[in-house]
Amino acid sequence: MIAAANLDAILLTTKLATVVTVLLLLIGTPIAWWLANTRSWLKPPIEAVVALPIILPPSVLGFYLLVAMGPHGPVGQFTQALGLGTLSFTFTGLVVASVFYSLPFVVQPIQNAFAAIGPGLLEAAATLRARPLDRFFSVALPLARPGFITAAVLGFAHTVGEFGVVLMVGGNVPGQTRVVSVQIYDYVEAQEYGQAHQLALVLMGFSFITLFLLYAFNRRVTTLNA
Amino acid sequence: MTDLVARFKHGYPGFGLEVDVRLPARGVTAIFGPSGSGKTTLLRLIAGLERADDGYLAVAGEVWQDANSFLPTHARPLGFVFQDARLFPHLDVRRNLDYGLRRIPPASRRVALDGVIDLLGIGPLMDRKPDRLSGGERQRVAIARALGVSPRLLLMDEPLAALDQARKQEVLPYLERLHDTLEIPVLYVSHAIGEVARLADHMVVLDGGRVVAQGSTIDLMARANLPLSRDDGEGALIEAGVACHDETYQLTDIVFPGGRLTLPRQAREVGQRVRVRVLARDVSLTLAAQTGTSIINILPARVTGITESGPSQSVVSLDLGGTTILARVTRKSVDALGLKPGLAVHAQIKGVALLK
């Protein structure tokens, strides 16, 4: 059976990934829409910033976030002024860090899906009396659905799989920030390989099944559209 | 004030459009010109899909754009049919048709969509997704969808251009029926002179982003000096009425103020109005009426003008009782016959094409 501490870690990881995925879809959609439609000179720099977590070592991102959220950082000053204390080593801090870390995995599939729709159908909708927001919800959103599914799955899975940023920002507080990947690290440090195996196997299985389902779904979508 | 008044100055590198036109807001007005002449751009400016740097647009006395205001596309009471149909792929035909209909207040639903569905013959397609439709079916659904918003102006951007010849012949009769049945003014962009001759009451000819001619289709088609039909051969239109049928030889006679023409038997009622096209290259001229010729259609005419057309050719404008037709002859013949304005001649017409 799975030990109680392991179950805690799994539940915490699930909760973190769920909250982060929901937030990412809310934040990522307008960013993706803007990037897919703008001709502004700001597009390349914003795209670069969004994509940074793909190539940066998680420790670099985690370090900056830790400094920003710490008692002397800008975010930390702000949250202290609101009477919330600092976010580092808390679940909320972990959510904030994960949102940054997984942003490209959500923004890029949605942006590509929006870009693939092109302006033609939205123009047609405009000639049929649909206002801009109406066009977005009645044409762009349903047609970008495969992109949203890919984005949600990748955002969730990538958050489950993160380690470096968690360690930097969240530390290792049981029930607060001790997610599965950190728990496995602890076991290995303590030479409890049996426990490590158990959790590692869970993550391995989860990751495989997730990606398998995603690719199977994408293949079905491509076949349907062919 | 029921007209459409459009003044646009619109430019981007390599292309400039500068138009100032007043179009009648009734019947079908063709916007005609070669590729790259600015036809589609003009239509998109009228729809508000593009915004001119400098523009004024009023439709039926209502200002859609001037120096201080710009009505967005979704607030303009128009319908738009795109060359590529642009049906929503995630919706079946019924929901494509409902898309616009649902977005206008019930009080302004003047077009009965059921009637349009019958007219366009798309009733059996209601539950299909666009990817299960043929090109012609898709375009008919797109036309019905545009009419569903009860537009006060219907804009059509080469609705037949993406179709092959067979599909064109499938859709054209529906367009004619729309023309005859609905009271909605149509702006019809095309570079196919045959479509324009069949459908349009008025036309605007664009070339290089400028209006080079505008007027009634009959008048413009009879002008010798317009770049109307480089591929198709120039030809004038005649509006006539069906006079009688000859069942023995399977012929149909039509009459117009300039005389009588005989065509192969047409499935038309006696008295029905028809429009025929006479290509300039099918008309030859004689000074005296010929006998002993196989040509049936020989009509007295008067020369009204001669325009040189290329090194060896001239186009002669002829008046037949108020109707103008064109004849393409060699410059040598012009001199040999002593053709000049005012001269009475006989026009021998080898071919007459019934348009509608």
Residue B131 and residue B67 share a domain: yes
Which of B86, B85, B83, B88 lies closest to B98, judged by CA? B88
Asked if B19 and B7 touch (Cβ cutoff 8 Å), the reply is yes
Residue B62 and residue B27 share a domain: yes
Q: Is residue B164 situated within a structural domain?
A: yes
Residue B186 and residue B61 share a domain: yes
Residue B168 and residue B263 share a domain: no
3-state secondary structure at position A191: coil
CB–CB contact B103 A123 (8 Å)? no
Q: Is residue B227 situated within a structural domain?
A: no
* B307-342 pLDDT, tens digit each: 888 788 888 999 998 888 888 899 999 999 999 999
B74 to chain A: closest CA residue: A129
Question: Which CATH number do you get for residue B54?
Answer: 3.40.50.300
Give contacts of B 128-147 with A, CB under 8 A: 145-146
What's residue B2's pLDDT? 64
User: How is the beta sheet containing B273-279 ordered, strand by strand?
Assistant: B259-264, B251-256, B235-246, B273-279, B353-354
Q: Residue B78 carries which side chain, given as an amino acid letter?
A: L
Q: Which two tokens stand for residue B249?
A: 């030889």
What's residue B1's pLDDT? 43
CB–CB contact A127 B103 (8 Å)? no
Q: Is residue B98 situated within a structural domain?
A: yes
Q: Is the pLDDT of residue B76 over 80?
A: yes
Between A92-101, A155-164, B109-118, B294-303, the lowest mean confidence (pLDDT) is in B109-118
Q: Is the pLDDT of residue A226 over 80?
A: no
Q: Is the pLDDT of residue A221 over 80?
A: no
User: How is the beta sheet containing B323-330 ordered, strand by strand?
Assistant: B283-286, B344-349, B297-308, B313-320, B323-330
Residue B242 and residue B216 share a domain: no
- CA B300, CA B319: separation in Å to the nearest integer? 9
Residue B272 and residue B217 share a domain: no
Which of B86, B143, B156 would you mutate first to test chain A, the one with the most A CBs within 10 A? B86
Q: Which two tokens stand for residue B351?
A: 């071919």
Q: Residue A95 carries which side chain, given as an amino acid letter?
A: V
Average pLDDT over residues B101-108: 89
Residue B285's contacts (CB-CB under 8 Å, 6 or more residues apart) are: B316, B318, B327, B329, B333, B337, B339, B345, B346, B347, B348
Q: Give the residue numbers spanning the domain of B41.
A: 4-221
Any A CB within 8 A of B64 CB:
no
* B133-172 pLDDT, tens digit each: 998 899 999 999 999 999 999 999 998 887 777 778 777 8
Residue B276 and residue B208 share a domain: no
Between A82-91, A96-105, B168-177, the lowest mean confidence (pLDDT) is in B168-177
CATH superfamily of A4-225: MetI-like (1.10.3720.10)
Residue among B82, B103, B104 whose CB faces A124 most closely: B82
Which of B73, B91, B102, B152 would you mutate first to test chain A, the one with the most A CBs within 10 A? B73
Residue B245 and residue B299 share a domain: yes
Q: Residue B21 class from Cβ within 10 Å (0-12 exposed, 13-18 middle, 19+ buried)?
A: middle
Domain end: B199, B221, B243, which one? Answer: B221
Q: Residue B43 class from Cβ within 10 Å (0-12 exposed, 13-18 middle, 19+ buried)?
A: buried
- CA B138, CA B133: separation in Å to the nearest integer? 6
CB–CB contact B88 A131 (8 Å)? no
A139 to chain B: closest CA residue: B88
Band (A222; pLDDT cuts 50, 70, 90): low
CB–CB contact B99 A126 (8 Å)? no
- Number of H helices and number of E strands within chain A? 11, 0
Any A CB within 8 A of B74 CB:
yes
Q: Whose structure tokens read 């600092």?
A: A86
Partners of residue A130 in chain B, C-beta under 8 Å: 74, 99, 103
Q: Which two tokens stand for residue A68?
A: 């920003």
A141 to chain B: closest CA residue: B90
Mean pLDDT of chain A: 90
Residue B278 and residue B172 share a domain: no
* A55-91 pLDDT, tens digit each: 999 889 999 999 999 888 888 888 888 888 888 888 8
Which of B84, B340, B339, B326 lies closest to B228, judged by CA? B326
B132 to chain A: closest CA residue: A225
User: How is the beta sheet containing B153-157 ordered, strand by strand?
Assistant: B62-65, B54-59, B4-12, B15-23, B210-216, B202-207, B28-32, B186-190, B153-157, B78-81
Q: Is the pLDDT of residue A225 over 60?
A: no
Domain end: B163, B195, B221, which one? Answer: B221
Band (B232; pLDDT cuts 50, 70, 90): low
The tally of domains found in chain B comes to 2
* A155-195 pLDDT, tens digit each: 999 999 888 888 888 877 887 888 888 889 889 988 999 98
Question: Which CATH number do you get for residue B261?
Answer: 2.40.50.100
What's residue B111's pLDDT? 81
What's residue B222's pLDDT? 81
DSSP character for B27?
Answer: S
ipTM above 0.90, yes or no: no
CB–CB contact A128 B73 (8 Å)? no
What's residue A5's pLDDT? 82
Partners of residue A128 in chain B, C-beta under 8 Å: 74, 99-100, 103, 145-146, 148-149
Q: Residue A165 class from Cβ within 10 Å (0-12 exposed, 13-18 middle, 19+ buried)?
A: buried
Q: Where are the beta strands (DSSP E) in chain B?
A: 4-12, 15-23, 28-32, 54-59, 62-65, 78-81, 153-157, 186-190, 202-207, 210-216, 235-246, 251-256, 259-264, 273-279, 283-286, 297-308, 313-320, 323-330, 344-349, 353-354
- CA B13, CA A105: separation in Å to the nearest integer? 38
Give the whole-number percent of chain B exceeding pLDDT 90: 39
CB–CB contact B86 A126 (8 Å)? no
Q: Which two tokens stand for residue A82?
A: 């609101």
Calculate how close chain B gets to A122, using CA atoms only, in Å. 9
What's residue A224's pLDDT? 56
Q: Please indicate whether residue B68 or residue A224 has the higher confidence score (pLDDT).
A: B68
CB–CB contact B78 A127 (8 Å)? yes
Residue B80 and residue B103 share a domain: yes
Region for B289 from its dihedrals, namely left if φ exceeds 0, alpha if ψ lies in -120 to 50, beta otherwise? beta
Residue B135 and residue B23 share a domain: yes
Q: Whose structure tokens read 């949250």?
A: A79
Q: Please indicate whether residue A123 or residue B271 has the higher confidence score (pLDDT).
A: A123
Any A CB within 8 A of B99 CB:
yes
Domain end: B193, B221, B249, which one? Answer: B221
Between A85-94, B56-65, B228-237, the lowest mean confidence (pLDDT) is in B228-237
Asked if B315 and B235 touch (Cβ cutoff 8 Å), the reply is no
* B64-74 pLDDT, tens digit each: 999 889 999 99
Partners of residue A139 in chain B, C-beta under 8 Å: 88
Residue among B47, B79, B90 whose CB faces A143 most closely: B90
CB–CB contact A124 B80 (8 Å)? yes
Q: Please indicate whether residue B310 or residue A124 has the higher confidence score (pLDDT).
A: A124
Q: Please indicate whether residue B351 or residue B268 has the higher confidence score (pLDDT).
A: B268
Q: Is the pLDDT of residue A12 over 50?
A: yes
What's residue B231's pLDDT? 47
What's residue B78's pLDDT? 94
3-state secondary structure at position B35: coil
Q: Which two tokens stand for residue B50?
A: 């593009």
Q: Is the pLDDT of residue B272 over 50?
A: yes
Residue among B49, B79, B89 whose CB faces A123 most closely: B49
Residue B194 and residue B249 share a domain: no
